[in-house]
């Protein structure tokens, strides 16, 4: 798995250093032990216990002990919700519930939700030409018939047609963007084309930066303000942050969002509940359905798991070789560098998130233990 697929920009050095400096939580062992139930924090989450929601608490406890003992490297949090209630959370490596964590490319899936809100208001269409949102960028560089044909949906499906590769980060267009203090959106809009949009899948974080610019222009306010007003505040989030262009302040919608783990879990619950949170419709249900359907077949694997691609969401399957009881059903996934994950399992009414700082093969550990530990804990 290439590094570029897992990140919109490299995991921040301060985070890597902080994780390395922190020891794991003390852990013991003992079959049949369980963890204290999650604490009500007034953040919108109803809390429960694994047993009350039909899950094996001892199995989750054993997983938590392995996480706390460093068995999966730098996994900093794992949270599970079932039936709309937070039932289990584990923090390790010095992390805490109130501390916002980098989400890296999970940010892309959040940007898809923002596009859905704008589309639901009639301000954005997936069929709209990308170039049409930027009359002030005229003359657009490298403009040809292919670039003129690029639509918003091509940004959502990673089929932009741009001559862009993140397979090797060093020297890549993504590194150039991340190091730039100029207009990130314009940089990507001006980038040369390689092929007809809508034809070949290529992971292009810059396309999600452009999508962030389009959402802001469609709504008449910068995308980070729109996100706060229309998504984060309605979800009762707090302490959220963006990695920003140091000159312009523009948020990195391709990988720069930081959320508290409990708030990241809300994103998953929102998708599971067809765009609703605590009874309030925030993202149109039609957008959730459209964005999490399989559009691009098997563009790449995430770790050892085959996935398809939708509108900035990955779609895995319960019929996975690592699942001890394979069966029909989707696993909707958001993924980011270092082990940032949101998993939505509609068949089980379950959401799981994980955060981490793994810059080695253990970045996908959470996808593994979703199948080997968390789903088998469902009775």
pLDDT in tens, 210-257: 999 999 999 999 999 999 999 999 999 999 999 999 999 999 999 999
| 103 pLDDT higher than 50 | yes
- pTM surpassing 0.85? yes
The alpha carbon of residue 126 and the mean position of all alpha carbons in its chain are separated, in whole angstroms, by: 20
- Domain 3-99+260-292+299-377 identical in fold to domain 106-242: yes
Instruction: State both tokens at 349.
Output: 């009414």
The residue behind tokens 């020891």 is 23
- pLDDT for 32: 76
pLDDT at 27 (0 to 100)? 32
For domain 106-242, which architecture applies?
3-Layer(aba) Sandwich (3.40)
Q: What local confidence, expressed as pLDDT, does residue 20 receive?
A: 43
Residue 9 pLDDT greater than 90, yes or no: no
280 strand-pairing partners: 277
- Residue 19 is predicted with a pLDDT of 46
Helix (H, G, I), strand (E, B) or coil at 287: helix
- The mean predicted confidence, pLDDT, of the chain is 93
Where do the DSSP E strands lie in 92-199?
A: 101-102
Please report, for the chain, the start and end positions of each structural domain, with discontinuous segments joined by +. 3-99+260-292+299-377, 106-242
SS3 label, residue 344: strand
Q: Is the pLDDT of residue 13 over 50?
A: no
Asked if residue 346 lies in contact with residue 332, where contact means CB atoms within 8 angstroms, the answer is: yes
Nearest to 156 by CA among 204, 221, 122: 204
User: What CATH number matches the domain at 3-99+260-292+299-377, 3.40.710, 3.40.1350, 1.20.120, 3.40.50?
Assistant: 3.40.710
């Amino acid at each position: 798995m290439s590094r570029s697929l897992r990140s919109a920009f490299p995991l921040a050095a301060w985070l890597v250093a902080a994780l390395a400096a922190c020891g794991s939580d003390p852990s013991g062992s003992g079959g049949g032990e369980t963890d204290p139930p999650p604490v009500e924090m007034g953040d919108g989450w109803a809390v429960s216990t694994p047993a009350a929601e039909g899950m094996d608490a001892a199995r989750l406890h054993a997983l938590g002990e392995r996480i706390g003992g460093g068995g999966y490297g730098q996994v900093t949090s794992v949270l599970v919700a079932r039936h709309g209630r937070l039932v289990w959370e584990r923090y390790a490596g010095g992390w805490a519930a109130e501390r916002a964590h980098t989400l890296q490319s999970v940010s892309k899936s959040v940007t898809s939700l923002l596009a859905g809100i704008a589309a639901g208001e009639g301000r954005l269409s997936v069929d709209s030409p990308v170039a049409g949102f930027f009359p002030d960028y005229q003359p657009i560089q490298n403009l040809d018939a292919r670039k003129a044909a690029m639509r918003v949906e091509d940004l959502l499906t990673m089929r932009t047609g741009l001559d862009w590769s993140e397979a090797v980060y060093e020297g890549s267009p993504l590194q150039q963007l991340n190091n730039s203090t100029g207009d990130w959106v314009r940089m990507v809009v001006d980038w040369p084309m390689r092929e007809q949009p809508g034809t070949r899948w290529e992971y292009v974080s810059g396309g999600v930066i452009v999508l962030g610019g389009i959402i802001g222009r469609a709504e008449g306010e910068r995308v980070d303000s729109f996100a706060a007003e229309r998504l984060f505040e309605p979800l009762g989030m707090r302490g959220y942050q963006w990695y920003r262009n140091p000159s312009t302040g523009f948020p990195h919608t391709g990988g720069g969002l930081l959320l508290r783990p409990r708030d990241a879990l809300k994103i998953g619950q929102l998708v599971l509940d067809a765009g609703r949170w605590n009874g309030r419709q925030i993202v149109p249900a039609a957008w959730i359905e459209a964005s999490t359907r399989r559009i691009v077949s098997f563009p790449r694997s995430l770790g050892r798991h085959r996935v398809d691609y939708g509108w900035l969401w990955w779609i895995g399957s319960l019929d996975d070789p690592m699942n001890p009881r394979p069966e029909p059903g989707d696993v909707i996934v958001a993924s980011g560098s270092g082990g940032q994950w949101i998993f939505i399992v509609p068949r089980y009414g379950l959401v799981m998130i994980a955060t981490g700082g793994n810059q080695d093969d253990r970045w996908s550990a959470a996808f593994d233990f979703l199948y080997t530990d968390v789903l088998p804990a469902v009775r």
